[in-house]
Amino acid sequence: MLKKAYRLKENEVKKVLKYKKPFFSYGVNANITKTYNNSNRFAIIISGKCVKNNVNRVFFRRKFYNLVKKDLFLKNNSFFDIVFIVKKEKILDKKDLESIKLFEKDIRFLIKKIFPL
């Protein structure tokens, strides 16, 4: 899990969604805004239509935070608030390995798009 300093609060998520620059992948969208904090901050929105129960939602949220943990301290001149939104037609199940692999692939693709090396 990420420390609270690197996670966005609800009102900050709303602000990002209002003043966003979108990035798209097959199953996940990312919305970013520039921030004046000294770190990148992340949030993920997984709707109830994407998962069957709350156990799956928590599993994928933790998987997401583990994936982005290494991208917190990238050496950039600018820092971003980033909100990832799972598309409604994407079905996530923690017992389905293909679903987990596609989720990780989408997140990694968007991170590479946002932070080109």
**Domain residue spans of the chain:** 4-114
pLDDT in the model for residue 115: 82
pLDDT in the model for residue 6: 87
Supply the angle between the helices 97-114 and 54-69 in degrees, to the nearest 10: 40
The answer to whether residue 28 scores a pLDDT higher than 70 is: yes
The model's pTM is 0.90
* Domain 4-114 of CATH type 3.30.70.20: no
Q: What is the mean pLDDT of residues 81-110?
A: 94
- To which residue do tokens 């928590």 refer? 58
CA nearest 75: which of 115, 114, 109? 115
Report the percent of the chain where pLDDT is more than 90: 70
Q: What is the mean pLDDT of residues 74-86?
A: 84
Query: How many CB atoms are closer than 10 A to CB 3?
Result: 10
Q: What is the mean pLDDT of residues 58-78?
A: 82
Q: Range with the lowest mean pLDDT among 50-59, 74-83, 92-101? A: 74-83
pLDDT in the model for residue 75: 61
How many CA atoms does the CB half-sphere of 29 hold within 13 Å? 12
- The answer to whether residues 117 and 77 touch, using CB atoms and an 8 Å cutoff, is no
